[in-house]
Chains A and B, each alone.
Chain A
Amino acid sequence: NAGVTQTPKFQVLKTGQSMTLQCAQDMNHNSMYWYRQDPGMGLRLIYYSASEGTTDKGEVPNGYNVSRLNKREFSLRLESAAPSQTSVYFCASSELGQTRAGNQPQHFGDGTRLSIL
């Protein structure tokens, strides 16, 4: 059971280049999330998708766009990369709502380590 799969695992970009990070989950979860993790900052939510066809901003959405392609896939795009976007990016999935399923923890992918020069 693969869980949450992220590609690529590593990437180096030049300032101004664009890139899309891919994420897919096979747990039939309705909700998916993108976080960034910076040293000493914990994880911060960039965007999330509560269900197929919907997306919402999180804490740090500026400079990013997302697409919920279908129930399984949620991509994160950097249109014009900046050095401040150097980070480790995690995708996660879960159910939502005050239900037995919705209270379960989010499941995380292995991360994409992105460096922008």
Chain B
Amino acid sequence: ELKVEQNPLFLSMQEGKNYTIYCNYSTTSDRLYWYRQDPGKSLESLFVLLSNGAVKQEGRLMASLDTKARLSTLHITAAVHDLSATYFCATYPRGSQGNLIFGKGTKLSVKP
């Protein structure tokens, strides 16, 4: 059974600092998704990582995937308040056609 674990679950950062959120998954998978959710809002897709070594960047966020280590990271560079949100990673078990498994989310708070 696929399990997805994120850490940390809560992260309080100062503006301008760097930090990394980790997403580990327990069984083989070849697709990894990162989503952002603002309080009381829907989920917004950030990144789709489809192969080992994939790296995607958008603004101050960069995501990577290591399928051999079953690990994805979301790196935040020079955080700003607008990045405050909850970030989820999610993946499918290999061969699954519908059962997207989510981590519990990392609640990020960026303080001035």
Contacts and interface: CB of A to CB of B under 8 A. Distances in A.
Interface stretch (B13-21, B35-43, B70-78): B35-43
Interface of B: 4, 9, 31, 33, 35, 41-45, 48, 50, 88, 90, 97-105
12 contacts: A41-B104, A42-B103, A42-B104, A43-B43, A45-B100, A50-B97, A58-B99, A59-B101, A96-B98, A103-B50, A107-B45, A108-B42
Chain A contact residues, majority secondary structure: loop
Contacts of A63: none
The 4 closest A-B pairs by CB, nearest first: A105-B45, A42-B102, A48-B98, A42-B104
Measured as residues with beta carbon below 8 angstroms from the partner, the interface class of chain A is: 20 to 34
A110 B98 contact: no
Interface in A13-61: 31, 33, 40-45, 48, 50, 56, 58-59
